[in-house]
Structure 1
Amino acid sequence: MATAKELYEERLNRIKTAVALGKPDRVPVAPLANAFCARHMGVKMSEFCTNPEISNKTIIRSFSNLGEIDALQSAYFYAPIVGTIWLSRVKLPGRDLPENEIWQVDERELMTVEDYDTILNEGYNKFFHDYLRDRLDNLGEKVQQIADFAPKAQKAIEDLGIVLFCGGSFTIPYEIFCGGRSMQSFLKDLYRIPDKVQAAMDVAIADIIGNVRKMLRATKPIGVWVGGWRSASEFISPRLWKRFVFPYIKQLVEAVVEEGVVAILHFDSNWTRDLEYLRELPKGKCVLALDGATDIFKAKEVLGDHMCIMGDVPPALLSLGTPDEVHDYCRRLINEIGPSGFILSSGCDIPPNAKPENVKAMIESVKG
């Protein structure tokens, strides 16, 4: 019987082979789940999303009951950290919501037009630090305290022979400003003061990349998310997308890859129109992780010889389908998107109301 260390090396090799567009001994499976694990294990959502130690143990217990996986994309969960990506407050179960409800991003216009000038005059890092302290209830200090738990959470997963595939989450100024300004106001900014927005983005991306490099050198993860949610061009015109989105994705991805880390393009929403541009990103060094909105079969056609693809078992199928239906869809992905350059996963998070037997069917499908 293989030891945990041997299993870890076997699974890590499987993942690395897929990322490099090779054909592993079988397609690796790397699900993503947070709220599902709490529901699956009967843990209060109020405790799961605010206590990293509880979430770490819950995630491990949940997947230990569902089969043999190669990797996980999160070691623990702390809901307020979402505010650092979208500059927004987060409503929490047990405080703002019933204790078993899902946390919610409370998007409001907390960032002002004047803040673009602050970034230009004082730098993004100072703006960001002050913003977390003054407008998000000293969130930066809370996140730092939680980050100290990350190595322990990672070790608990790796001790089971499971790879932690994602060791951090980063995004571009577009996403950050969009959350802080609110989507409606931010899109107006792109038309009313485009030059100022771009200038602030240029300052911000330099600081963000500097922060990313420092973090990657300190923690040495296998991969990190480079996230895109509202920055898919289904939300804005191609002209604006080419100016305010892709140049910054490219800079951030190239910095991650230069540090020897896999850039996991966690792209929610529909990126089908943008797939051709992703060929400009480093070959065999990135993973395109899709949530079901982008045509994954078109992604294979456009990027199959350039970038590993990960996904994309839909939330509706995991919640409403049968194990046979899940198995059949997974086998189609394995055969048509894989077996080379493909990692099987859920489309974004496994939904909280997914049937455990369906998640198990997804995990087992890689074995034939």
Structure 2
Amino acid sequence: MQLHVDIPTYREKLEAAYRPLSETCKDVDRSELKTAPEIQGNGSHETTNQHKTVILKVKGKFEPFTSFAPLTIPTQLKSALKGLHDVPHHWWIGHVLAYITRLQPTVKSELESLKKKLGFSNSTFVTLTNTLIVNRLHIRRSDKLVREAKFFALEEYMCHVIDLAGETQAGQSRDKNVFLATDEPDIYSKAKLTFPFYNFLTIQQNTKLAAFNRETKQGFLGIVQDIQLLSDCQDFVGTLSSNVGRLVYALMLTKTRKDSITVCTLDDDYMYYGSVPRYLEAIADHNPTNETNDEIQLQLGDQVYVNPSRLMCDRRCFGTNSRTRKTGYFPADKIREYANPVLYQGFQWDESD
């Protein structure tokens, strides 16, 4: 498996931060790529498994073109994952991304040194109970506000942080430590001034690079560091309209169960461009009572297609009920996601393991 990036500067940054996709398949004859077929889907069966070399391209419109697109899980893992994780399709894509983002040894070593400097625990974060940082706070500004996302003030993020800094389920008070990752240089000083009872930790050099020199090699490595540190925290407050936010969430799921972490998103729900259609199941009836008349009825067991970019801050989703064909809003706490299993040809799994 190889990653081919035509823009040299992008390729150099990726190779500096991450290990090769394959440690053994490094020498593919590029002439083979000219005639190699593109991976296509045909129901739940691959049509290119008879070829030695195949190509997986990024589609410009991000439309699903195969059943093996993100947010499916291998049918072979369905029973094993049923009791392991409450969102197995998120867990699965998280492990795929964790593999892709394996750090180069030098980058990993620098990250470990940085953790010691900031006060992160040296544990492997299997349970996330020994890490110093309680909350992770990611504030994305700059180019994100041009056309992709809404502006949220620091105070809106901190409302969730304050809630998270309360008592744990065991009745113990959490430390008020917050790791802050942002591309706005003034946020760190404002946070310390406005919320003096919280201990904010940040990497100011990474903030400056993200704000002014993101396209440089050092700027990219700074983003890589922030992503890894954010994913090692217990809780997350940010926007999942951000690619960084979604990557952090996915990596976080590989280290613990979803029900042992808290993710507070100020805008979108988790989504993956190019994923298979996202369907959810109603776990309770819902009869609209709001005066604006913009909600739809749900019955227990209804299948609902939901647009993840329309998850509202008041915890309402926007989607279409496949039974009634009605489209509108409904409470997010009355639906649940379910995994879409697909037969992955060639995937080996021994259930006795």
Identify the TM-score tier after normalising by the shorter chain: under 0.3
CA radius of gyration, larger in: 2
Higher RCO (Cα < 8 Å, 6 or more apart) = 1
Q: Which has the higher strand share?
A: 2
TM-score by length of 1: 0.26
TM-score by length of 2: 0.27
Q: Which has the higher helix share?
A: 1
